[in-house]
Amino acid sequence: MSTTAETLRYAAFTDAGAGGNPAGVVLDATGIDAARRLAIAAELGYSETAFVEPTANDGTYRLRFFSPRAEVGFCGHATVATAVAIAERHSPGVLRFDTAVGEVVVRTTADDTGILATLTSVPTHTRPATADELAAALTALRYAEADLDPRYPPHVAFAGNDHLVLALRDRAALAALDYDYAALDRLMAERLWTTVHLVWAEDALTFHARDPFPPGGVVEDPATGAAAAAFGGYLRELDLVPLPARVTILQGADMGRPSRLLVDLGTRAGGVDVTGTAAPIE
């Protein structure tokens, strides 16, 4: 039983070895209670830290996530970081994570560039944002309805957590993001949204994204695997991309941490595959 924890630091969803989203990973959190896990996450200061508990079954782990403020049901980038850390210490293969939102399967493979991890989310679903939700979000984000791209309707998309999806007409509006942190924090707490997934479509299969993340105690997340999975489910359910498809999400560039997330969509409903790399932070 572990009562002290070695916290590893990884950047997940790096782009050509740079950028990515930092995550903490505690590979054996057995015996560490929730209060201590929250304290570790707060001390580290990343948007999420993953806490792993081995089980009696090889390749199967209990996995919980904590932001500096609270436990989070699911976190994509910390899952990828955890999978890569385990694969580096054992060998690539299939990992099964028992999370608060259900089982998440991650396949790890190795090539000349390192270890690649592909997570399959829980089944996705999406619904239109209400008029009140949209009005409150736009006010907090300091955008107007005229800033939105009408090809992509405002929705609340789910892949383990809820994410408000808003598409902007042009890249400049995305780059100019400057929102009311307190107002958006209150709205997201009320609606139980994990991030707001703001996107701009470079083309039909390439999107630039920014993710305000007040629930995690940070202004913005540089790479958000859970939001990428939810967005993929949204694109599939609303027939916004030809299927099957691989969607590329470029995130974090506006905050100096370029990140690349690959989202694979099949023709059947269910989970969404999100692929990325992770590297230790020296």
How is 28-71 classified by DSSP, letter by letter?
Answer: --TT--HHHHHHHHHHH-SS-EEEEEE-SSTTEEEEEEE-SSSE
* CA distance readout (Å), 89 to 97, 238, 244: 17, 41, 34
User: What pLDDT score was predicted for residue 4?
Assistant: 56
Catalytic (active site) residue 48:
yes
CA–CA separation, 153 and 192 (whole Å): 20
Q: Which residues pair with 11 in a beta bridge?
A: 22, 279
Q: Do domains 7-100 and 125-280 have the same CATH topology?
A: yes
What pLDDT shows up at residue 15? 94
CA distances from 68 to 7, 24, 231 (A): 14, 11, 25
Following DSSP, what letter does each residue of 219-275 receive, concatenated? EEES--HHHHHHHHHHHHHTT-S-SSEEEEEEESGGGT--EEEEEEE-SSSS--EEE
Cis peptide before 244 (omega within 30 of 0): yes
Instruction: Please state the pTM of the whole predicted model.
Output: 0.91
pLDDT in tens, the chain (282 residues): 344 568 999 999 999 889 999 999 999 999 999 999 999 999 999 989 999 999 999 899 999 999 998 999 999 999 999 999 999 999 999 999 999 999 999 999 998 878 999 999 999 999 999 999 999 999 999 999 999 999 999 999 999 999 999 999 999 999 999 999 999 999 999 999 999 999 999 999 999 999 999 988 889 999 999 999 999 999 999 999 999 999 999 999 999 999 999 999 998 889 999 999 999 998
**How many residues appear in the chain?**
282
Domain ranges of the chain: 7-100, 125-280
Query: Per the structure block, which two tokens stand in for 146?
Result: 């005229």
State residue 1's pLDDT score.
Answer: 39
Give me the residues paired with residue 218 across strands: 213
Name the active-site residue from 6, 48, 71, 202: 48
CA distance 75 to 173: 27
Cα angle for residues 156, 161, 167 (degrees, 5° grid): 35
Q: What is the pLDDT of residue 94?
A: 97
Q: Chain-centre distance of CA 257, in angstroms?
A: 15
Identify the architecture of domain 7-100 in CATH: Roll (3.10)
Phi/psi of residue 141, each to 5°?
-85, -10
CATH homologous superfamily, domain 125-280: Diaminopimelate Epimerase; Chain A, domain 1 (3.10.310.10)
The DSSP symbol for 103 reads E
Could you tell me the two tokens for 207? 């999107």
C-alpha 271/C-alpha 176 separation (Å) is 33
Side chain identity at residue 174, one-letter code: L
Residue written as token pair 């690539």: 92
Q: How far is CA 149 from the centre of its chain?
A: 23
144 near 154, Cβ under 8 Å? no
